Structure 1
Amino acid sequence: MTYGSDYKPIPAISFTSGEGVEILSDLYCYNVQIVNICLVGSRERNDFILVDAGMPGSANEIISITEKRFGSSSRPKAIILTHGHFDHVGAILELVSHWQVPVYAHKLELPFLTGKMSYPEPDPSVEGGIVAKLSSLFPNEPINLGVHIHPLPDDGSIPKMEGFRWIHTPGHTPGHVSLFRDADRTLIVGDAFVTVKQESLYSVITQEQQISGPPRYFTPDWKASWESVKKLESLRPSVAVTGHGLPMVGEALANNLSMLANDFGRIAVPDYGKYVNQIYKH
């Protein structure tokens, strides 16, 4: 297993870094610098899944918070990746080596997780803020998980994660998925939409809550992204845990997600950038 040669710690942090939120009895969201991971499962049964794998260099922190919640030497049954960008797989190799558990992702994401293909380059020219301008410094080369990565089943089920199904939500990446539990309408979004303006350094640091589309500097397909948001809005989720920003619930979620789905071109799509086609602004 290998990371790309450009993988390195990123000196970015928010006020909520190192903080966790128990959203439901079996859903815990923890912030690693600027990105969220999720621990899904029962504390009583020590039976859980890790969703996404944090920032580069964060493996010890993730292991520590996992053991704090589920007990010493605990380990997840599997790791589910919403997608393979560096801030969602930053500690994956160390975690797999430590826990010896399988990793699952959408089949269209596998080239980026088996060393075969790099994502489109980030766009520092995109409309946004300082974070967008610095995005050319972010790791972009593929990692290689070798035999440890597996495709999610085509039927929408998620191995070892009973009650949830995966939903293909491309745009931010080709194989991006969100995870949904129909019984209580719980949604783990990944970066299909976020609740912080991720391009703005001020918003990233303060975590000021604001529903937004996927991070602009790493999103090459805005048409697909809009369709993905519409798909998620149609589920009428009761709670949404996003890859960036604080969880959103209830009426605030319903109102904001409806607004985003209906007015995505104005709210989410940047006015300019190398991946922007102005037809998607309308």
Structure 2
Amino acid sequence: MNVEQLPLGPLGTNCYIIEQEKKALIIDPGSEGEKLIRMIERREISPVAILLTHAHFDHIGAVDEVRDHFSIPVYVHKEEEDWLGKPELNGSKFFQMGQVTARDADHLIELGTINMDGFTFEVRHTPGHSPGSVSFWFKEQSFVIAGDTLFQGGIGRTDLPGGDMKTLQESIEDQLLSLGDDTKVYPGHGGRTTVGEEKVMNPFL
């Protein structure tokens, strides 16, 4: 399994392409849909779904373009099923980069172990940055896609709709730091880290 991190858009939001046997999961296509589509087609891989760690504007900007091009479904947590089309919820209303919207997700993502076209992973609810934030834990490969919950040396902001610092800290403690210290953490912004490094070095934990 290959994990490719692709920073997109003015905020450098990390989109992830999880590739296995010429199939791929696309996580958080936040912007630059044409660039993302070209990269996938050059590699001759077939996307099977778009997964959203949460529905903030910088994580959903290219959802419709990529969804329509590849004819694949979009998954989001039920707490944010209404956010894609509402700038006042997805946060784009509060920034000077234009209002961002996308059509509703095709499916509400289930918590627990998921088997999707040969990909096996666990969906963990990690609210605090936003109420519907989730993390995708690939146990066998020992990595987690954490969205804007946990960063290298930082944690997610909590000043947007539905944010709550206590909830965020509890999510990190219960759902992420409980993973093995060697577990690689792929965040929504910035570079990769590990659970063990953040336990020791993160000043917010």
2:191 to 246, 251, 261: 246
Unaligned runs of 5+ in 2: none
Larger Rg: 1
What's the Cα RMSD here?
2.6
Matches within 5 A, 1:208-227: 211-215=153-157, 217-218=159-160, 220-227=163-170
- Contact kept, 8 Å, 2:111 with 2:125, in 1: the verdict is no
The answer on whether the counterparts of 2:30 and 2:58 sit within 8 Å (CA) in structure 1 is yes
1:152 paired to 2:123: no
SS at match of 2:81: helix
Contact 2:112 2:124 in 1 (8 A): no
CA contact (8 A) 1:79 1:102 kept: yes
2:120 is matched with which residue?
Answer: 163
Q: 1:144 to 1:38 in 2, by over 3 A?
A: closer
Does residue 1:51 correspond to 2:27, yes or no? yes
Partners of 2:90 and 2:128 in 1: CA distance: 12
User: What is the CA deviation profile of residues 34-67 of structure 1, one whole-angstrom value per residue up to 9, with x for unaligned ones?
Assistant: 111111122xx31111011122xx1101112222
TM-score by structure 2 length?
Answer: 0.84
Amino acid at match of 2:88: S
Q: Aligned equivalents of 1:120 and 1:107: distance in 2?
A: 14
Moved more, 156-165 or 224-233: 156-165
Between the aligned partners of 1:36 and 1:26, the Cα distance in structure 2 is 15
Distance in 2 of aligned mates of 1:110 and 1:83: 10
Tell me the CA shift for residue 247 of structure 1: 1.1
User: Which of these residues, 226, 235, 240, is aligned with residue 179 of structure 2?
Assistant: 235
C-alpha distance in structure 2 between counterparts of 1:105 and 1:120, whole Å: 13
Give structure 1 stretches of 5+ with no counterpart.
Answer: 1-24, 123-134, 196-210, 268-282
Q: 1:227 to 1:178 in 2, by over 3 A?
A: same
Change (3 A) 1:64 1:48: same
Give the number of equivalent residue pairs: 200
The counterpart of 2:150, out of the listed 172, 193, 211, is: 193
What is the TM-score normalised by the length of structure 1?
0.63
User: How is 1:1-282 mapped onto 2 (pairs within 5 angstroms)?
Assistant: 25-33=1-9, 34-42=12-20, 45-55=21-31, 58-68=32-42, 70-71=43-44, 74-113=45-84, 115=85, 118-119=88-89, 136-138=95-97, 143-146=101-104, 148-157=105-114, 159-160=116-117, 162-195=119-152, 211-215=153-157, 217-218=159-160, 220-231=163-174, 232-236=176-180, 237-249=182-194, 253-260=195-202, 264=204
Is the contact made by 2:158 and 2:165 (CA closer than 8 Å) also made in structure 1?
Answer: no
Percent sequence identity is: 27
Bigger relative contact order (CA 8 A; separation at least 6): 1
